[in-house]
Amino acid sequence: MAKTHPYTVPGLTLEEGQGLNDALQSRLNAMNDLHLTLKHAHWNVVGRNFIAVHEMLDPQIDLVRGFADEIAERIATLGGSPVGVPGRSEYQHSDHVYGVDRASTQHHLKELAEVYDRVIASHREAIELSGEVDPITEDILIGQSKELEKFQWFVRAHLEDSAGEIPG
């Protein structure tokens, strides 16, 4: 659990602020991991459609990096201290390790689609939690989820056939 301060935003209890901060710390970790995962794929993608995928990832990387900053600032606003450095007990990487190095665009995109599945699902869980106590935090996470879902669509569009299926 991250260090907290003896305040939060008006209208929330300290307990509510801390609960949100715990959820947001998890989202901060996820955005930091996603940023690095996308950058890793950007560096290691090869083959057919290389330039399209390589360049498609750049705006995703930039926006996800900004999402991390927005979440960290919300944690601070709510009276917490965001943790973004590896090696701290509060900074937990995701359980999933991105195991693709130099590989084809299709290989990276399939793996990235799965990464987005997990990130979006956990963002939605945080939306549900925040919706119970804080519409501001909920709004931030909804806006981010909208963009994450769009990014996943971009990734899937490279993989899908005309019926919307991803061939095995």
- State the Cα torsion 135-114-29-13 to the nearest 10°: 20
Query: pLDDT tens-digit profile of 108-155?
Result: 999 999 999 999 999 999 999 999 999 999 999 999 999 999 999 999
Residue 4 has pLDDT above 70, yes or no: no
> Of the candidates 95, 71, 94, which has an alpha carbon nearest to the alpha carbon of residue 83?
71
Q: What is the number of residues in the chain?
A: 168
Helix axes 105-131, 50-77, angle to 10 degrees: 20
d(CA 23, CA 11) in angstroms, rounded, equals 18
What pLDDT score does 97 carry? 86
Percent of the chain whose pLDDT exceeds 90 = 83
d(CA 9, CA 7) in angstroms, rounded, equals 7
What are the structural domains of the chain? 14-159 (1.20.1260.10)
